[in-house]
Amino acid sequence: MKSPRTHFRKVESINGYLFALPYIFGFLALTAYPVLYSFYLSFTNYSVLKSPQWVGIENYRELFTDDVFHTAIKNTFIYMLTAVPLGTVMAILLALLLNTKVRGMAFYRTLFFIPSLVPLIATAMLWMWVFNGEYGLLNDGLRRIGVTAPNWMGDPAWAKWTLVIMAVWGTGNAMVIYLAGLQDIPQNLYEAADLDGASPWKKTKAVTLPMLSPVIMFNGIMGMIGGLQQFALPYVMFPGGAPARSTLFVSMYLFDNAFNNQRMGFASAIGWVMFIITLILTLTALKVSDKFVVYDRS
C-alpha cells in the first residue's frame, strides 16, 4: 500500500511539471529547436523562400575568406575591448561616488541611472544630434574652445568612438549592480582597516576592490557578451556600417545577410562562429578570474 507521503510527493511533482510545461514547451519550441535548426542551416544555402540546399562547410569556408566579415570581427572586438573596460571603470567610479554619504544621494543616483532607461532608438536620435558635424552640441562646444571638431559620424576614424562614448554614458545598470555590491561589503572590514591606519586608497585597493571582484567579473562577462552582440545603436545610427564599414559589427552583418540578403545559411554560420568565440572568451574569463576573484569572506 502506498503511503500518503509518497502519494503526496507524486501529486506535487506532477503539478510541478504541469506548471513548468508552458516554459518547457516554450524553451523547446522557441529556443532549443531554432538553435539546433540554425546549426543545420549553417551547412546549407537557404533563402527562406526556397528549401535549404546542403553545401557542407562552404558557408564557413566563405566566412574565413570574407574580408567584410573580418572587418566586422575587428570592429566588434575594438568596440568590446574599449567600451567594456571604460564602462566598467566609469561604473565603479560612479558607484564609489554614489556610495558616499552626502545629502540628496537619491537624486544623484536617479540622475546617473536615467540614461540606462532611455530606449535605444531615442538614445540614438539624441546622440546623433550631439555628434552632428555641423550643428552638434559637442562640436559647437569644441569650436568655442578653439578645437578643430571632427565629423564624428561621417569620418571612419571617429565613427566607432561615438558608440564607445555612448556605451560609457549608458552605464547605469552596471553602476547599480556595483552599488549593491559595495553596500554588501561588511563594515567590519573597513573598521579593521581603519584600526590598522589604512588610507582611503589602501582601503579601496585592499578591501573594496577584492570584495567587489565577483561583481566585477559578472558585469565584465555580461558586458563582454553585450559588446559582442552590439546591434541596435549602430544599426540605427550607421546603416550598413557606414562610413566605409567602420561601424559594421558582426551582429549587423548577420542580420543583413539573414533578412536583407536572404542568406539564412550564411547568417547561421556567422551566428555559430560568434557563439563559439563568445563561449571561448567566457570560459577563458572564468578560468582567469580564479586568480583575481575573491569569493571567500570568512
Which residues are near another protein by CB under 8 A?
11, 14-15, 18-19, 21, 45, 47-50, 53, 67, 121, 124-125, 128-129, 132-136, 151, 153-156, 235-240, 242-245, 256, 259-262
Q: Considering the complex, what minimum distance in angstroms separates the CB of residue 267 from another protein?
A: 12
Burial class, 266, CB count within 10 angstroms (exposed 0-12 / middle 13-18 / buried 19+): buried
Q: Considering the complex, what minimum distance in angstroms separates the CB of residue 111 from another protein?
A: 24
Of residues 159 and 215, the one with the C-beta less far from another protein: 159
Q: Considering the complex, what minimum distance in angstroms separates the CB of residue 279 from another protein?
A: 29
Of residues 172 and 234, the one with the C-beta less far from another protein: 234
Cell of 187: 563594515
Q: Considering the complex, what minimum distance in angstroms separates the CB of residue 31 from another protein?
A: 18
Of residues 151 and 229, the one with the C-beta less far from another protein: 151
- Cα distances from 65 to residues 23, 41, 74, in angstroms, run 41, 20, 14
Of residues 86 and 128, the one with the C-beta less far from another protein: 128
Of residues 53 and 110, the one with the C-beta less far from another protein: 53
Q: Considering the complex, what minimum distance in angstroms separates the CB of residue 25 from another protein?
A: 12
Contact 171, 94 (CB under 8 A): yes
- Cα distances from 14 to residues 1, 23, 28, 272, 294, in angstroms, run 20, 15, 19, 37, 41
Of residues 99 and 151, the one with the C-beta less far from another protein: 151
Of residues 244 and 286, the one with the C-beta less far from another protein: 244
Q: Considering the complex, what minimum distance in angstroms separates the CB of residue 77 from another protein?
A: 21
Q: Considering the complex, what minimum distance in angstroms separates the CB of residue 32 from another protein?
A: 20
